[in-house]
Amino acid sequence: MKRLIFVFVMCLSFAAINAQNTQNAQPAQPAATGEKTFADLKNEGNAAINGKDYQKALDLYEQALAKLGDQPVADTSMIYNMGYCAFSIKNYEKALKYFDQTASMNYKKVNSLLYEADSYKALKKDAESLKALEAALAIAPDDAKVKSKMASYYVKSATSFYSKGSAIITKANADITAGKLKTTDPAYITADQKAKDEYTKAMPLVEKALSFDPANKTATQLKTAIETALKPQ
């Protein structure tokens, strides 16, 4: 009987020790719950872009991208959407970053280059804008949108020269009206020649614009104005 009591007491002691050890042990940390996955964030970004909330969409896409860590980016459509969102909110530097990626991935390459051209244009980087347009033209020489943008680029360049020439001759004519000059004065003759020099620079640019888009009304009107200005008086 004493032996049975002893065994029983020992069992109770072991149980108490095990219970104490269990209490003192640190519980395992539960797995994080509710954390959004790459797919979750991308889908929310898609919903935001469909709702035209481009800033929110871009933020969500960038959070999704961060989930990939050092993994190579294969989701080209999402990167393209990121470029579009950045362009839409006028964050042109970021738009260039993402469209450069999609262009290098050969995803919607022509459109990516056109967005790059427009982004550079907005940043007043005309040389870079032309380079992107020429890259798009090399891929799709018959694309109407590409040709239209090429025409617009050259119209803008021609307009710059035309405006400079017009400013010169307008001032000279104002001096004539004010009685400060005569058309036979050397100062007026010089001003008239300088204006014509600017018009002469503008003409080949207008013609280049029309070679890309013969229906461009601004180019047509500009060409007529230049021809009129260059006619002998």
Q: What pLDDT score does 73 carry?
A: 83
What is the rounded distance in angstroms from the CA atom of residue 117 to the CA atom of residue 64? 27
Query: Exposure of 63 by Cβ count < 10 A (0-12 exposed, 13-18 middle, 19+ buried)?
Result: middle
What is the rounded distance in angstroms from the CA atom of residue 28 to the CA atom of residue 4? 38
What is the rounded distance in angstroms from the CA atom of residue 12 to the CA atom of residue 2? 15
- Name 33's Cβ contacts closer than 8 Å, sequence gap at least 6: none
The pTM of the full predicted model, rounded to 2 decimals, is 0.80
List the chain domain ranges. Answer: 38-125, 146-230
- Angle of helix 109-122 versus helix 76-88 axis, rounded to 10: 20
Which residues of the chain fall below pLDDT 70?
1-33
Q: What pLDDT score does 21 carry?
A: 41
Q: What pLDDT score does 10 carry?
A: 40
CATH class of 38-125: mainly alpha
Would you state the structure tokens that stand for residue 93, as one six-digit string?
A: 């530097």
